[in-house]
Amino acid sequence: MNVKVKRLLHEEGGFTLSELLVTVMIMTTVLFALYSIFDMSIRVFSFGNDKVEAVENARLGLEKVERELRDAYPYDKAGGDTKLFAAWTPTKVTFGNELTGDRKVRCPSPPPNPPPQCEVVSYDVYRPSGGSTYALGRANSSGGVRQSVAEYVKYANSTDTGLSFEYYARDGSEINPSRPAPYTEADIARVRIELDIEVDRGALSRRTQTLTTDVALRNRGS
């Protein structure tokens, strides 16, 4: 057989079994690496979306707290009771929003306009029934039943709930709820609210977003 023909046939020979096995192993390794990168990208994208959505929902919830707290109304303005807060602690606040025009905060409010409803509002953090995470809750019923306003609140313990209220006098001095002297509830002119949001995505790292707002009380006498 011609030498050139033999060389051509030799060059057209297929892969050996060892070469095929090595090639398959390399391709498998590359495919697994690409899949891992793709999977991580999807998880990071999903986490980013969840975090943005949770923060935006929390922002809306905090704006609701801000609006209602700014309009906190004296419990009996007609009778001379200028108290705005029934409870004011570092983790919970309870105040009134007058709805009927009778210049009193009652629960339930009298008919007919609007229909009877509770004019007392409370905000704190709670764990919804059957849920695995904590939420910012709003209660305005005589039974104190909460409704979720924002989810994924970073709850640590009963004193670090992920929601905090700080109270200030007109001169900027902070008022301690547990020992307010020489101040009283009547001296509260501004409330600072902080809300910590955290989305748990398993093995992915956790990042906490803190939302803060200052609320000047509109109905506090000058």
4 domain-assigned: no
28 domain-assigned: no
Ranges 117-131, 191-205, 207-221, most confident: 117-131
21 domain-assigned: no
C-beta of residue 94 within 8 angstroms of C-beta of residue 120: yes
8 domain-assigned: no
Distance in angstroms (rounded) separating the CA atoms of residues 68 and 102? 18
Supply the pLDDT for residue 114.
Answer: 72
- Degrees to nearest 5, angle at CA 116 with 111 and 122: 140
Residue whose entry in the numeric block shows the structure tokens 């007109």: 170
Q: Comparing 35 with 135, which gets the higher pLDDT? A: 135
- What are the backbone angles phi and psi of residue 125, rounded to the nearest 5°? -105, 140
Residues 6+ apart with CB under 8 A from 3: none
| Average pLDDT over all residues of the chain | 84
Supply the pLDDT for residue 132.
Answer: 85
Per DSSP, helices labelled H in 71-115 are: none
Distance in angstroms (rounded) separating the CA atoms of residues 189 and 197? 27
119 domain-assigned: yes
113 domain-assigned: yes
29 domain-assigned: no
Query: From the CB of residue 217, how many other CB atoms can be counted at a distance below 10 Å?
Result: 17
Lowest mean pLDDT among 134-143, 153-162, 172-181: 134-143
For the chain, what is the domain count?
A: 1
* Per-residue pLDDT tens over the stretch 95-111: 999 888 888 998 888 87
2 domain-assigned: no
pTM passes above 0.85: no
